[in-house]
Structure 1
Amino acid sequence: MVIIALLIIWLLVVSIQLIYIFFIYSRTAFFRQPEQNVLDLGANSTSGSGVTIIVCARNELVNLIELLPLLNDQNYPDFEILVMDDRSTDGTSLFLENDIPHLQRVRFIRIDKEHEHVTPKKYALTIALKKASYPIVLLTDADCRPASDGWLSSMVAPLINSPKAISLGFSPYEHQPGLLNFLIRSETLFTAVQYFSLALAGRPYMGVGRNLAYRTSLFFANKGFYTHINVVGGDDDLFINEVATGQNTAVCLNPDTFMWSKPKETWAEWRLQKKRHLNVGKYYKPGNKFRLGLLTGSHVLTWVLALMVGLVVLVHKLQHHSFTTNEWLLLLIGTGIFVLRELGFWSIVGRISHRLAHTVHWASIPLMDLLLAFYYGLAGIETIFRRRKKRLYWR
């Protein structure tokens, strides 16, 4: 009975994975980006087409020197670049004051102090949205680089002369050698698979602040970051989690819209970044947490139970025990569905990776699948123990 129960549970979790792969992930794999001549739209639209690019930066002088000319040269008729200099001490202020007169679209605001009621990034963004000259904002970070001079026009295309209010973009990380970089790229790809696919399924739940556009009217109509103003992080995903709907959200898979980022180079830096992201996730809407929990839990259990089933088969062989007819039937069905799941994941996520800047090589998708299951499992365990420690400390 224990073996049968194990096999039935395995069948259930793998079946959940099949639903996600073939009915959710496939939406991104086979999505056709609507073709729009956005330059004509922007030039001919009488209102609502201007864009403010917002870059919040603290001690990012080296990156700003390289990034701002790339943003200033974007091919779009009506836009500005607003740099929020958040208490920088590396010469950023002098650079912005003296060295950018040739960048005619760039202006900046200096922030000199922190405010107790709000985290620094959210304060800077709130001020930026209040001071933005145009009704659409496009967010990125100082350590990012646009894939082309069509980044701006392609990212805001879904919002021009349209009821859409949010445009979700992709921000791949640069390829570097080593396991850490492979894990970062794998996790970035799979996160994109999830938020793009669920958005296309009418259940948007997050965006990435390195490449995200929305209307300022949406921000102020929903009181900005008010509900999570003291939470570290969440200026992108928590805000989108609150305001995004299936009707007001669009996705951008055009390669011109990609915003390349520099990855963390040490395990300590990356682990700190992931801790912040996991901390933010607990504030998601219940429905989003349920769907993501089901997705992640079934992913982890698919591999854990596969290893357990394999161990059971090995023990039976070593002990010369035989399976009953029902056990053999469930084992064959489970193995077949597991193989179908692996082939489906490989082909569909591999196709998405190909579309998203070849983030992970197609041949490495099975390794990515197993590595992410291991990573999500450890992250879940760490989160549970961290919360228990906090409760004990509070008492």
Structure 2
Amino acid sequence: GVKAAHHDCLLLTTSNCTIPSRLWLRSMARHFVDKSVEVVIGYGRHCGNDDTPDHGHGSGRRTFDRLRSALLWVGSALVGKPLRGTACNLAYRRSVFFKHKGFSSALHLNYGDDDLFVNEIATAYNCVAEISPDAIVDQHESDMAYSHRAESLRREFTSAMLPRAPFRLMGSVSVALWIWLLASVVSVVYGAPSIVPPIVAVVMFAGMWIPVSLMWRKVCAVLEGGRQGWSALFLWLVQPIRTIGRRWSAWRRRRSNFTWG
């Protein structure tokens, strides 16, 4: 398909995506007016085959995982450190594709070629993230739970081949919450019966979590078209445990990620 293209700017999506806005092409392609831009990273919002947002058992966890992942790679691109992209909404120049020999570095993988390719070609100077409402596509899944688990395990495997600094920065949120929780418990226990330690712990929690919660709700509304509030706090706390479980599952299924497996 890339070889057959007649023009330099390529915009890609996948067969399970629909385009809600008539301005999608314009929103994604307008950045190529700048000759220095070679990569445009878009976003794909997950929904069911009936165009409804993710719902049902486990939908909160799935929404949290998608938002956390989006904050990682979209946020990295917005601050000039592009990490990965998504095949359902991605644009780049045909010339840069051939300059970097396409997906040659990922021919041994069944999945993750887009992540590795974007990480290889994108820099702070040639990459733009586009997350305006007109640029977001809808990615349909018949079984949200199954597709989410499969994608999570694939991304967990691929992430080992990407720079680790952004992942550590994202993980520091969970570490900060656990430090606050343990410090609060210790101070309350050893400070009893004084009411000062509980008051200090509550004030610290409000100062730390309320701004994060408000930001999280806004990001959820923009990217996923819904809202997620206080449940995100619990999910941030248990994220390290869930990550360990996913890494173990991804390692056990590692052979399925290789073309020769």
On whether the aligned pair clears a TM of 0.5, the verdict is: yes
Task: Give 1:242-321 correspondences, 5 Å limit.
Answer: 242-263=120-141, 265=143, 267-284=145-162, 288-296=163-171, 298-313=172-187, 315-316=189-190
Structure 1 counterpart of 2:116:
238
Match in the other structure for 1:368? 232
Q: Given residue 155 of structure 1, which amino acid in structure 2 is its aligned partner?
A: M
For 2:242, the equivalent position in structure 1 comes to 378
Q: Give the conservation status (yes or no) of the 8 Å contact 1:150–1:256.
A: yes
Q: Counterpart of 1:371 in structure 2: which amino acid? A: L
Larger Rg: 1
Q: Tell whether the 8 Å contact from 1:231 to 1:280 is kept in structure 2 after alignment.
A: no
Percent identity over the alignment?
23
Aligned to 2:4: 131
Deviation at 1:346, TM superposition (A): 1.5
Give me the whole-angstrom Cα distance separating, in 1, the residues matched to 2:130 and 2:253. Answer: 41
Measure how far apart 1:313 and its partner are: 4.5
Query: Residue deviations 1:45-104, cap 9 Å, x none?
Result: xxxxxxxxxxxxxxxxxxxxxxxxxxxxxxxxxxxxxxxxxxxxxxxxxxxxxxxxxxxx
After superposition, residues 1-395 of structure 1 pair within 5 angstroms as 128-174=1-47, 175-263=53-141, 265=143, 267-284=145-162, 288-296=163-171, 298-313=172-187, 315-316=189-190, 332=200, 336-356=203-223, 358=225, 360-361=226-227, 364-383=228-247, 387=251
**CA 1:376–1:238 in 2, change beyond 3 Å: closer, same or farther?**
farther
String of CA shifts for 1:230-268, please: whole Å, max 9, x gaps. 122122211111111111011212211111012462544
In 1: Cα distance, 2:249 partner to 2:220 partner: 33
2:21, 2:134 within 8 Å by CA — same for their partners in 1? Answer: yes
- TM-score for both structures, normalised by structure 1: 0.56
Q: Check whether the contact 1:181–1:265 (CA below 8 A) recurs between aligned residues.
A: no
Q: Which amino acid aligns with 1:340?
A: G
Count of aligned residue pairs for this structure pair: 249
Residues in 2 aligned to 1:136 and 1:295: alpha-carbon distance in whole angstroms: 33
| Contact preservation (8 Å) 1:199, 1:249 | yes
Measured after TM superposition, the shift of residue 373 of structure 1 is: 4.0
Query: In the alignment, which residue of structure 1 is the partner of 2:50?
Result: none
Deviations 1:269-292 (A, max 9, x none): 4322211110000011xxx31221
- Larger RCO: 1 or 2 (CA < 8 Å, sep 6+): 2
In structure 1, the gaps of 5 or more residues are 1-127, 391-395
| CA distance in structure 2 between the aligned counterparts of 1:161 and 1:268, rounded to whole angstroms | 40
Q: TM-score, normalised by structure 2?
A: 0.82
Indicate how the Cα distance of structure 1 residues 178 and 307 shifts in structure 2: closer, same or farther if over 3 A, else same.
Answer: farther
Instruction: Answer yes or no: is the 8 Å Cα contact 1:193–1:349 preserved in 2.
Output: no
Amino acid at match of 1:202: G
Partner SS, residue 88 of structure 2? coil
What is the SS of the residue equivalent to 1:343?
A: helix
Q: Over the residues paired in the alignment, what is the CA RMSD in angstroms?
A: 3.0
Distance, in Å, in 2 between the alignment partners of 1:335 and 1:198 is 32
Q: Which amino acid aligns with 1:378?
A: R
